């Protein structure tokens, strides 16, 4: 089963590389947004604003990148996959692939953001902040993969992903903000860790639900 999951992940990556323009488009979106914010703010020293803005950018990047993961799947491909792989394997492969993709995009956006808008708020707290980045990325990826699978079943898929996904992304963002605010204030991880724990609970709860529910979405 693991080998099939790995194969599916490689298959996804291969599909992405064949159409490089999709992933390039999303990277361009992220970088342009960062640059736009740079033009507006020049340099941000206030930790709260810095953090909130970065996560707004990452949220919309996530919606663009992961939200389209089930779009544009031709019927022939879906039928082929339906007969060859188990749905659980497919969704696990897709989620892990999206987690990797999201992590890559968020590191890219984070790098550009730090470059343009300065990184004074998080000096000396890189490790903690990167953990937050990791948690947020995998959280968004798992959530949006399931939502995009659900939304793909309807005729008008794109707008629906945002409508369905945004309410559930709100607690993620709140937990992230709380974690980051406490991190920037210097609160040690022992007290701050509960926020990360809850993000993990949400992420893996959604992952578990995806594993159980995706087979019902699969049969078409």
Instruction: Point out which residues bind another protein (CB under 8 A).
Output: 146, 150-151, 153-156, 160, 163-164, 166-168, 170-171, 174, 194, 198, 201-202, 205-206, 209, 213, 216-217, 220
Nearer of residues 33 and 161 to another protein, judged by Cβ: 161
Assess contact for 101 and 17: CB atoms under 8 A. no
Give me the torsion for CA of 9, 204, 85, 151, rounded to 10°: -90
Extract the tokens encoding 152.
């793909």
Helix or strand (DSSP H, E) at 194: helix 189-218
How far apart CA 114 and CA 17 sit, in angstroms, is: 27
Residue 16 burial class via C-beta count within 10 angstroms: exposed 0-12, middle 13-18, buried 19 and up: middle
Distance in Å, CB of 46 to another protein, minimum: 18
Extract the tokens encoding 179.
């974690």
Nearer of residues 188 and 208 to another protein, judged by Cβ: 208
How far apart CA 109 and CA 17 sit, in angstroms, is: 20
Distance in Å, CB of 213 to another protein, minimum: 5
Distance in Å, CB of 173 to another protein, minimum: 10
For residue 120, the 8-state DSSP code is: G
Nearer of residues 26 and 92 to another protein, judged by Cβ: 92
Nearer of residues 87 and 132 to another protein, judged by Cβ: 87
Distance in Å, CB of 166 to another protein, minimum: 7
Assess contact for 37 and 49: CB atoms under 8 A. no
Nearer of residues 117 and 206 to another protein, judged by Cβ: 206
Distance in Å, CB of 165 to another protein, minimum: 8
Extract the tokens encoding 20.
């490089």
Nearer of residues 35 and 82 to another protein, judged by Cβ: 82
Distance in Å, CB of 86 to another protein, minimum: 17
């Amino acid at each position: 089963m693991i080998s099939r999951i790995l194969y599916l992940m490689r298959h996804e990556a291969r599909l992405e590389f064949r159409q490089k323009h999709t992933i390039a488009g999303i990277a361009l979106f992220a970088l342009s947004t960062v640059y736009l914010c740079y033009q507006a703010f020049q340099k941000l020293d206030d930790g709260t604003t810095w953090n909130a803005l970065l996560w707004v950018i990452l949220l919309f990047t996530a919606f663009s990148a992961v939200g389209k993961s089930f779009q544009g799947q031709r019927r022939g491909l879906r039928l082929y996959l339906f007969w060859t792989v188990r749905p659980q394997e497919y969704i696990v492969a897709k989620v892990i692939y999206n987690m990797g993709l999201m992590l890559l995009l968020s590191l890219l956006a984070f790098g550009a953001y730090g470059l343009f808008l300065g990184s004074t708020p998080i000096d000396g707290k890189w490790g903690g902040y990167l953990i937050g980045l990791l948690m947020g990325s995998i959280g968004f990826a798992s959530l949006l993969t399931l939502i995009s699978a659900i939304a793909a079943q309807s005729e008008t898929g794109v707008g629906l992903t945002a409508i369905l996904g945004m309410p559930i992304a709100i607690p993620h963002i709140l937990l992230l903000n709380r974690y980051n605010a406490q991190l920037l204030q210097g609160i040690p991880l022992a007290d701050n860790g509960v926020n990360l724990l809850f993000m993990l609970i949400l992420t893996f709860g959604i992952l578990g639900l995806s594993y159980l529910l995706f087979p019902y979405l699969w049969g078409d």
